[in-house]
A and B are shown apart, each in its own frame.
Chain A
């Protein structure tokens, strides 16, 4: 197990047995993964890929069927491993009888804070998520975005070394999203590992340095975002000259400049009309779709 890893999992497997039908659902299949300390890591995958199960095993909410998981060097599942971890679940249901401040006080006490440390901690995270003006309003009157901000605040409360966030900007408006990204960015610059569980690819692409893609419980791809989307190419749009029907533009992609130029030369000789030549870069969405559409014989 690498010393510097915030999260380490080896051959992590989780099989749910459905009651009554006894049908087995393999949520995770021998997943091995390292998340370096201080990184911004995005776990991607379509619905049902096993992302939430992965996070729940790390936090001891669900137990693995096989394999090992370590959180900050401690075996996941032991409650002591969660001392330096903040967590925002997807669709977190915060009791609506609390005000923002009272909820944070409770969460702080559960994390072991008390007295002036608790008071200062609550003030600090309320400021970080810009919720100080609504701190004494009951959660029942909060908008979805405000609840999400308070959720983020409770995750940050106990000075975590790892923040595990499940769809953290769900329901937050674009301005709020940018603010949350800024807060997370600041924390990351100070050394906090940010583990983002999301299916909003654009957000992951903007924020995360490393990603892993899960599909049907299996790890399909892992790497730095920059290297995954670097595969640049060229796209040429042209129109055939002797088309009988209304001319339909044709798009063609080329891996490098020489092949692009050769194609342009050929098209000119043929009398075609070259409309556009542009550099293209694969997006994370492209990488994601390719990864989950790839054949895996064991999926069958």
Chain B
């Protein structure tokens, strides 16, 4: 069948606009993940995760004798002998805490490094025009980049945390469900930072600037977290208010990390404010990025 207008074979698109937009969104998300995996560093991240899992699976051995005494061996050498299963569980908890903390810091750091480039890539001259000339709302293009980037990092977190949970659980018999808190908390932190990356990328259209601003926010978080001390030490009311505003507005990387360790240990969290305020920051950053991108000339 030929289309009278174009003469090319008629190719009916999806009739309903929402369905068409959903299809385009899925295609853009998938393209973002594909672009990420075209970069060697992403294979490096996933390779490192696979290495950690292989280490836990093949090098770490745990022998439990009569359910009471446990021996932990590394590379065939006895590394630790515990007097009770409780001590073993405590030790497994330490390993899980270390993995969670390492992943929280390193995975988000590398994730920002990679995804800043991914975000800015769509603003490159010659590429932006191709995307913007498609019958799609601009916000959708931005949201798909965001989702694809978060998905790429989330898959790695899921692989490493989920994999190490299964391996350590199978070897020790200690199934610490609290360890799985590392998945949502780490993904949440990355999605908050990614909103900042995207906002700066829209404003500056530059990957390096997006990366630097986000790293500065990450580095400043533990400093800003010293809220009580700063308020006592700062000389003027203006400076104190400025500090408080910075603390309230910026994503709470440090507090979320502390919350992660508390949750992995199985303890109660005193306040969920770091989550709510960081989520509010992410929502505001995304909305602003959306607005600026929609109004920008290219």
Question: Which chain A residues have a beta carbon within 8 Å of chain B's beta carbons?
Answer: 16, 56, 59-63, 79-85, 87, 89-95, 97-98, 106-107, 109-114, 117-118, 120-121, 124-125, 154, 156-161, 186-187, 189-192
Of B51-59, B87-95, B122-130, B245-253, the one contacting chain A is B122-130
Contact of B126 among A93, A98, A154, A158 (CB under 8 A): A93
**B24: nearest residue on chain A (CB-CB)?**
A110
Contact: B24 with A109, CB < 8 Å?
yes
Q: Which residue on A lies nearest to B28, using beta carbons?
A: A110
CB distance from A210 to the nearest CB of B (A): 19
**A-B pairs, 7 with minimum CB distance:** A190-B7, A112-B13, A97-B38, A93-B126, A109-B27, A87-B133, A89-B129
Q: Produce 1/0 per residue, B125-158, CB < 8 A to A.
A: 1111111111111100000000000000000000
B135 contact from A61, A111, A117, Cβ within 8 A: A111
B86 contacts partner chain A, Cβ-Cβ < 8 Å: no
Docked-complex contact B124 and A82, CB < 8 angstroms: no
| B78 contacts A by Cβ under 8 Å | no
Q: Check A124–B8 contact: CB distance below 8 A.
A: yes
Measured in the bound complex, the distance between the Cα atoms of B9 and A120 in whole Å is 9
User: C-beta contact mask, B1-44 vs A, less than 8 Å → 1, else 0?
Assistant: 01111111111111000001001101110010011001000000
Tell me the smallest distance from the CB of B133 to a CB of chain A, in Å: 4
Is B232 engaged at the interface, CB distance under 8 Å to the other chain?
no
Query: Contacts A110-B28, A159-B5; is A89 near B135 (CB within 8 Å)?
Result: no
B34: nearest chain-A partner, CB-CB = A97
Q: Chain B interface (Cβ within 8 Å of chain A)?
A: 2-14, 20, 23-24, 26-28, 31, 34-35, 38, 121, 124-138, 295, 297-298
- Distance to closest chain B CB from A197 (angstroms): 12
B220 CB to nearest A CB, Å: 27
Supposing A63-B297, A112-B23 touch, asked if A92 and B11 sit within 8 A by C-beta, the answer is: no
Contact between B35 and A91, CB atoms less than 8 A apart: no
Q: Which residue of B lies closest to A59 (CB)?
A: B133
Bound together, the chains give a CA A92 to CA B12 distance in angstroms of: 26
Q: Are B5 and A161 in contact (CB under 8 A)?
A: yes
**Given known contacts A159-B9, A186-B7, A89 and B130 CB-to-CB distance under 8 angstroms:** yes
Interface SS of A by simple majority:
loop
A-B contact pairs, 5 of them (CB 8 A): A63-B295, A90-B126, A93-B124, A93-B126, A110-B24
Contacts of A61 in B (CB 8 A): 128-129, 132-133, 297-298
* Most chain A CB within a 10 A radius of its CB, from B9, B130, B298: B130
- Judge whether A110 and B126 touch: CB under 8 Å: no
Q: Assuming the A-B contacts A82-B134, A192-B5, are A92 and B126 also in contact, with contact meaning beta carbons closer than 8 angstroms in the complex?
A: yes
Which residues on the B side are within 8 Å of A87 (C-beta)? 129-130, 133
Q: Which of A79, A109, A154, A159 contacts B8 (CB 8 A)?
A: A159
B133 contacts A112, C-beta separation under 8 Å: no
Kindly name the residue among B7, B128, B135 whose own CB sees the greatest number of chain A CB atoms within 10 A: B135
- Complex CA distance for A189 and B8, rounded to whole angstroms: 11
Check A121/B9 contact, CB under 8 A, given A92-B130, A110-B27: yes
| Cα of A120 to Cα of B23 in the assembled complex, Å | 18
A59 to B134, CA, bound (A): 9
Q: Is the CB of A191 within 8 A of B135?
A: no
List, in ascending order, chain A residues with CB within 8 A of B9's CB.
120-121, 124, 159
Contact B6 A160 (CB under 8 A): yes
Chain A residues, CB < 8 A from B138: 79
Report whether B6 and A190 are in contact in the complex, using a CB–CB cutoff of 8 Å. Answer: yes
Distance in angstroms between the alpha carbons of A62 and B132 in the assembled complex: 10
Given pairs A112-B14, A190-B6, 9 additional interface contacts (CB within 8 A) = A62-B298, A63-B295, A91-B126, A94-B127, A97-B38, A114-B23, A118-B11, A161-B6, A192-B5
Check B6 against A89 for contact (C-beta < 8 Å): no
Q: Please report the C-alpha to C-alpha distance between residue A98 and residue B136 in the assembled complex, in whole angstroms.
A: 21
